[in-house]
Amino acid sequence: MPWPEIQVSLMRLPNGEGLPLPAYATPGAAGLDIVSAEAVTLAPGGRHAVATGFAVAIPPGYEIQVRPRSGLALKHGITCLNTPGTIDSDYRGEVRIILANLGSDAFPIARGDRIAQLVPAPVQKARFTEVASLDETQRGSGGFGSTGL
């Protein structure tokens, strides 16, 4: 059964000329690999909003989540901050990926290197209603770690 698809318009920017479009690496992949449109070196503990060379128009009712690449995270300590990041349907600027180096060595990123994944997702809108009290649950107000060992 084919997976459902949404149509996302992509505008290549001048700094993205010659780079591949976001693409799925395998038929079962959930995320589209994206590449860097610039060369940059991330110092240990450093972070940078890496240019991708494109902008998108996402249909209303959807977002695109930005997620780290597992191989970069495991092998080099490179991750995306604000993960998963959200690209809103009304944003039209260049997609930039906030990468951070949690490793102990400087990490060079070359133009064209795969840096992150994009995962389209439906958005559920919420409306908040103020109430005087909330219903009781077994957990109650137990916070961080309250359901652990």
Tell me the pTM: 0.89
**Res. 149 pLDDT band, cuts 50 70 90:** low
Q: State mean pLDDT over 6-32.
A: 97
Helices (H), the chain: 70-76
Q: Tell me the C-alpha distance between 72 and 79, whole Å.
A: 7
Q: Is residue 47 part of a domain?
A: yes
Q: Which pLDDT value is given to residue 144?
A: 82
**CATH label of the domain that carries residue 80:** 2.70.40.10
Name the average pLDDT for the chain: 95
Q: Is 1 inside a domain boundary?
A: no
Three-state DSSP class for residue 74: helix
**What would the mean pLDDT of 122-143 be, rounded to a whole number?**
93
Contacts of 68 (CB under 8 A, 6+ apart): 78, 79, 80, 83, 116, 117
Mind listing the pLDDT tens digit for each residue in 47-92? 999 999 999 999 999 999 999 999 999 999 999 998 999 999 999 9
Domain count, the chain: 1
75 inside domain: yes
Domain residues for the domain of 70 are 14-122
- How confident is the model at residue 139, as a pLDDT? 86
- What confidence score (pLDDT) does residue 141 get? 87
Q: Is 42 among the domain residues?
A: yes
Q: Is 147 domain-assigned?
A: no
